[in-house]
């Protein structure tokens, strides 16, 4: 091994050790984008002068760097867009506070007030029962009669049914054995922003994911 090669290798080893010491701690995200460039420059400076690397390898590495930076920028842009969309959704929902909304639900909070809703039948049913089950396991059935496919309206009068205040499971049971969705109309009382997204506070239901709101029916008296 020639003295020039030995000196070059020793210099490379020393620079590599220095670079390793510098990158051992976790660098902030703002410095990570420059790390690849610094290592590439060190690699070029400390290559064996008697056996230089193929220039295409450096081109490929620079190309990889560009792709990495592009992906990082895209990720940041996506996060920013998601934040903007969440803010717009919050503002839009906030403007609907006080309106009546239609919500797909399997629970209902009885407080003495009369509630209205509908069962979205999948097909013709000779009879449909709306079943409310209290925390004590007691079932209360409301017979809705025969109906064709589509929404079949219902009314829940707690006083007439002898329902005490509390939370009930609610489910529709058509004669055909299907399990159609129960849709309840109630007042949108508020909008909350949580760590997981927007949550709507709906009267007689509670916290609701916006995905389960299928209709905005306007403000009473408007």
- What was the pLDDT predicted at 201? 92
pTM above 0.85, yes or no: no
Q: Which one, of 171, 183, 177, lies nearest residue 122 by Cα? A: 177
Do the beta carbons of residue 189 and residue 100 sit within 8 Å? no
Architecture category of domain 100-216 in CATH: Sandwich (2.60)
- What was the pLDDT predicted at 10? 47
Measured in degrees and rounded to the nearest 5, phi and psi for residue 53 equal -75, 160
Do the beta carbons of residue 98 and residue 187 sit within 8 Å? yes
- What was the pLDDT predicted at 2? 45
- What was the pLDDT predicted at 25? 47
Q: Please state, in angstroms and rounded to a whole number, the distance separating the CA atoms of residues 144 and 126.
A: 10
Q: Residue 34: enclosing H or E segment and its boundaries?
A: helix 29-45
- What was the pLDDT predicted at 7? 45
Give pLDDT tens digits along the chain (222 positions).
Answer: 444 444 444 444 444 444 444 444 444 445 655 776 777 677 767 766 666 666 676 666 667 666 766 777 777 777 666 666 666 666 666 677 888 999 999 999 999 999 999 999 988 889 999 999 999 999 999 999 898 998 999 999 999 999 999 999 999 999 988 999 999 999 999 888 777 778 889 999 999 998 899 988 887 765
């Amino acid at each position: 091994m020639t003295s020039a090669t030995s000196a070059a290798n020793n210099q490379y080893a020393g620079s590599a050790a220095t670079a390793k010491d510098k990158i051992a701690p976790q660098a902030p995200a703002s410095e990570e984008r420059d790390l690849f460039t610094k290592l590439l420059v060190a690699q070029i400076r400390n290559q064996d002068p008697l056996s230089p690397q193929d220039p295409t390898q450096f081109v490929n590495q620079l190309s990889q760097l560009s792709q990495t930076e592009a992906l990082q920028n895209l990720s940041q842009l996506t996060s920013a867009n998601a934040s903007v969309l969440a803010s717009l959704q919050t503002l839009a929902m906030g403007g609907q506070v006080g309106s009546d909304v239609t919500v797909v639900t399997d629970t209902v909070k009885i407080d003495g007030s009369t509630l209205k809703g509908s069962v979205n039948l999948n097909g013709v049913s000779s009879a449909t029962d709306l079943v409310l089950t209290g925390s004590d396991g007691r079932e209360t059935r409301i017979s809705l009669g025969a109906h064709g496919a589509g929404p079949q309206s219902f009314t829940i009068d707690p006083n007439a049914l002898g329902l005490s205040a509390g939370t009930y499971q609610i489910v529709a049971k058509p004669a055909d054995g299907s399990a159609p969705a129960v849709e309840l109309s109630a007042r949108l009382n508020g909008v909350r922003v949580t760590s997981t997204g927007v949550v709507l506070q709906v009267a007689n239901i509670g916290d609701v994911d916006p995905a389960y709101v299928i209709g905005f029916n306007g403000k009473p008296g408007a």
